Amino acid sequence: MEWLVENRDPVVRLDRTFWSVTALLGVLALAAVLWWALAPIRAIMPEAVDKAYQIDTLFRFLAASGTALFVYVCGYLIYFSIAFRKRASDPPDKIGVQIHDSHSLEFSWTLIPTIFVVIMAIFSIRIWYGIEFAPPNTLVVEALGHQWDYSFRYPGVNGEVAEMHLPVGQPVTLHVSSYDVIHSFWVPDMRLKADMVPGLINTLDFTPTKPGKYSIVCTEFCGTLHGDMRSGTSNDKAYLYVDPPDRYQTWYRQTQLAQAHAGNTIAVASTSGVNLAGGDAGAGKQLFAQKCSACHAIGPFDQKVVGPGLKGVLHDPAHPNLVNGQPATPANVSKILQNGFSGPMGRMPNQTQNAISDKDIANLVAYLNSLK
């Protein structure tokens, strides 16, 4: 153990070189902060919604502090590696400064990051709050994911449309879901993303601020053509168009008309009802479990799966009308089962799409009527 020698340097103080390096790193860090503060993010990726500006500001703050920290970490690593390297002239048993800790230093580098984390948390929470809670009177639109494209539903429009249009300046509540596997709805220029999960409705609230044509990109693996599930590929033609209000209105009216003739929901309601006599509640109960329970619970109205709970649909004084505004009678329930329904909560398939016969409808209505 001859390499152990009582050989200590005098205590190395933080010398002038150290402080010069620290100051130089400070200059570099400041340059980095300025770079992030002034970076022309908007030129590369337009901020297309009201929230995007705040998100970009948060990003600038994070990036600036992160880069400044990284400048110091790498700077000191390089400086210490050079300043304290073993030199050829050093004796082989030379040891470094035998210092174990420094309470004041360690306290500082615990306190300062903690303060920083608190600031970062407050900043993030304020922006988060704005994203999660919508103003009233929003335009409610739905986006649905399929393997491997998107479709959209609008209030008052039958069926689903292949393009997404939004009027600029109008607060929007976007509900997203999926027909099959988990997808994701992301518009990079809007900085907002929501996963599209089958059986669940996920929500984004925002106001588009810049007219334009935007790509929608899927960021959740959804199968073979996940890489192609973005606007402009052969399987996915769905772009998001943000239009000036009059152009939007024109599009909306044209789409409404076009979809009306596509036929299959409320605008083309069947006037002749189904014969409800002899409906079997027991058969209806089984059928309900098979066909309906994916979206409806047998529970109070507010127990929503996708659509409302149906236990009291025909017997609930708090809800005397059905979702389409018609009085809650067996005949009107039957009409919804025949024709389907499209509304803010989602789209209910019609009789043909659900593959249920008139007898099935009679059984279902009998079952719903038997729940008290």
Whole-number Å distance between alpha carbons of 188 and 231: 12
Whole-number Å distance between alpha carbons of 368 and 288: 9
Residue (131 or 139) nearer to another protein, CB = 131
Q: Strand, helix or coil at 325?
A: coil
Cross-strand bridge partners of residue 347: 342
Residue (187 or 267) nearer to another protein, CB = 187
Terminal-residue alpha carbon distance, the chain: 90
Query: At residue 188, what is the residue type?
Result: P
Place of tokens 């590696």: 81
Residue (197 or 345) nearer to another protein, CB = 197
The least distance separating another protein from the CB of residue 263, rounded to whole angstroms, comes to 27
The least distance separating another protein from the CB of residue 285, rounded to whole angstroms, comes to 7
Whole-number Å distance between alpha carbons of 239 and 150: 9
The least distance separating another protein from the CB of residue 142, rounded to whole angstroms, comes to 14
The least distance separating another protein from the CB of residue 89, rounded to whole angstroms, comes to 12
Residue (148 or 252) nearer to another protein, CB = 148
Q: Which two tokens stand for residue 224?
A: 């073979």
The least distance separating another protein from the CB of residue 262, rounded to whole angstroms, comes to 26
Least Cα distance to 84 among 8, 28, 12, 7 occurs for 12
Residue (127 or 283) nearer to another protein, CB = 127
Residues with Cβ < 8 Å from 77, sequence gap 6 or more? none
The least distance separating another protein from the CB of residue 205, rounded to whole angstroms, comes to 10
Residue (30 or 258) nearer to another protein, CB = 30
Q: Residue 248, Cβ neighbours under 10 Å: how many?
A: 19
Residue 128 near residue 203, CB atoms below 8 Å = no
Cross-strand bridge partners of residue 144: 151, 177
The least distance separating another protein from the CB of residue 48, rounded to whole angstroms, comes to 12
Residue (157 or 187) nearer to another protein, CB = 187
